[in-house]
Amino acid sequence: QVQLMESGGGSVQAGGTLRLSCAPSELILRPGCMAWFRQAPGKEREGVASIDNDGSNSVRESIQGRFTVSRDNAKNTLYLEMNNLKPEDTAKYYCAAGPLKCRYYHGGGYNYTYWGPGTQVTVSS
């Protein structure tokens, strides 16, 4: 069974930078949308960013300009560059992937096929 595995999380001070990676345990055929989510304690999970295999992407409006999503299609690997981190970015970050275009998962009624177990990001003030 294909699994995703996140890495790169950790503890940083406000203003710091982290780069998260997400790679599958084996090659995923027909990779479509890959995405990042996060969940802070006591809060609902929220979408952070998503990217199609043609590079078109979207980033949550509240973090635009600080976070950049990218992917390496040859490796099916997803990245999230997080700059100028703030304490409110503290959360567990999850990656997800599915065979369809991202628009089908953004309110289209479809659920991502693959999920990772998450990696913790903690930002101190």
Tens of pLDDT, residue by residue over 31-58, are 799 999 999 999 999 999 999 999 999 9
Cα 89 from Cα 4, distance rounded (Å): 22
Give strand ranges (E) for the chain: 4-7, 10-13, 18-24, 34-39, 46-51, 57-59, 67-72, 77-82, 91-97, 114-115, 119-124
Cα 56 from Cα 50, distance rounded (Å): 9
| 10-31 tens-digit pLDDT | 999 999 999 999 998 877 767 7
Helix (H, G, I), strand (E, B) or coil at 89: helix
